């Protein structure tokens, strides 16, 4: 692997990941997302805070943040593949770009190295590089959220499911060791970034996304 190519890919990935979409979208609504809710600039906190203040429009803003954060990871992972022939080196560079993007999202140079937990950004890149493992993780997230209404628990279990699926596919000969190692590293990183949520889940104080009943006529 070319050291220059690795350096360029890492730098581009980091700066893409550092784009603070959660902060910028919330700021457009007059809200400093670092000072409200959980203080996290990720899509979940943006959706919860803006949804409470602005209703459906605020919730859509939170969804927009998720999409933008996912696009950061996807672009960081995908652009090294642009030559058109998916060589091993290009795919490894995609992994490097994704790792850098997740670190940039979590420790953004534009917000004094504060940032989100990396779930959406990691998911965006994994869709490009490991679509099958990412699909399994998405199904685990959806099932967990649908049954518990805990976004954090869904993210934590998805962070387990993605590398587990990748290792199973490695056993089947359908992926390579570097991809399973990166999936594991990203999963551990996401879980560590959720350590406060884990404490609240164990204490029974974690906030749920509960559907509000429409007001009576």
Residues 78 and 2 in one domain: yes
Residues 19 and 42 in one domain: yes
The predicted structure's pLDDT at residue 210: 74
Asked if residue 125 is part of any domain, the answer here is no
Residues 60 and 149 in one domain: no
Among 115, 149, 179, give the residue marking a domain's end. Answer: 115
Residues 27 and 92 in one domain: yes
Asked if residue 217 is part of any domain, the answer here is no
Mean of the pLDDT values across residues 134-160?
97
The predicted structure's pLDDT at residue 109: 97
Q: Which two tokens stand for residue 174?
A: 């359908």
Q: Do residues 201 and 157 lie in contact, with contact meaning Cβ atoms separated by under 8 Å?
A: no
In this prediction, residue 217 has a pLDDT band, given cuts at 50, 70 and 90, of very low
What CA–CA distance (Å, rounded) separates 49 from 62? Answer: 9
| Phi, psi of 15, deg, nearest 5 | -70, -35
Residues 151 and 49 in one domain: no
pLDDT tens readout for residues 52-72? 999 999 999 999 999 999 999
Asked if residue 68 is part of any domain, the answer here is yes
In this prediction, residue 90 has a pLDDT band, given cuts at 50, 70 and 90, of confident
Q: Which two tokens stand for residue 119?
A: 């779930």
Please give the residue range of the domain that contains residue 205: 130-209
Residues 6 and 100 in one domain: yes
Asked if residue 214 is part of any domain, the answer here is no
Residues 107 and 153 in one domain: no
Q: Do residues 108 and 20 lie in contact, with contact meaning Cβ atoms separated by under 8 Å?
A: yes
Residues 2 and 107 in one domain: yes
Residues 144 and 65 in one domain: no
Residues 109 and 136 in one domain: no
Residues 66 and 102 in one domain: yes
What CA–CA distance (Å, rounded) separates 19 from 58? Answer: 20
Structural domain total, the chain:
2
pLDDT tens readout for residues 111-140? 999 999 999 999 999 999 999 999 999 999
The structure tokens 């459906």 sit at 56
Q: Which two tokens stand for residue 39?
A: 């203080």
pLDDT tens readout for residues 184-200? 999 999 999 999 999 99
Residues pairing with 19 in the sheet: none
Residues 22 and 110 in one domain: yes
Of 126, 129, 102, 128, the closest CA to residue 116 belongs to 102
Asked if residue 123 is part of any domain, the answer here is no
């Amino acid at each position: 692997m070319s050291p220059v190519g690795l350096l360029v890919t890492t730098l581009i990935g980091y700066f893409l990941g550092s784009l603070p979409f959660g902060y910028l979208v919330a700021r457009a609504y007059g809200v400093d997302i670092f000072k409200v809710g959980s203080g996290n600039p990720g899509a979940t906190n943006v959706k919860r805070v803006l949804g409470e203040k602005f209703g459906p429009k605020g919730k859509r803003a939170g969804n927009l943040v998720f999409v933008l954060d996912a696009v950061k990871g996807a672009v960081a992972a995908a652009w090294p593949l642009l030559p058109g022939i998916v060589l091993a080196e290009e795919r490894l560079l995609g992994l490097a770009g994704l790792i850098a993007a997740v670190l940039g999202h979590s420790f953004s140079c534009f917000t004094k190295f504060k940032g989100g937990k990396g779930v959406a950004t990691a998911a965006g890149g994994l869709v490009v590089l490991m679509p099958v493992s990412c699909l399994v993780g998405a199904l685990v997230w959806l099932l967990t959220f649908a049954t518990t209404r805990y976004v954090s628990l869904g993210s934590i279990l998805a962070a387990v499911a993605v590398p587990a699926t990748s290792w199973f596919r490695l056993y089947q000969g359908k992926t390579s060791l570097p991809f399973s190692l990166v999936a594991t590293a990203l999963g551990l990183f996401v879980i560590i970034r959720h350590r406060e949520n884990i404490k609240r889940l164990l204490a029974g104080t974690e906030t749920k996304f509960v559907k509000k009943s429409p007001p009576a006529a």
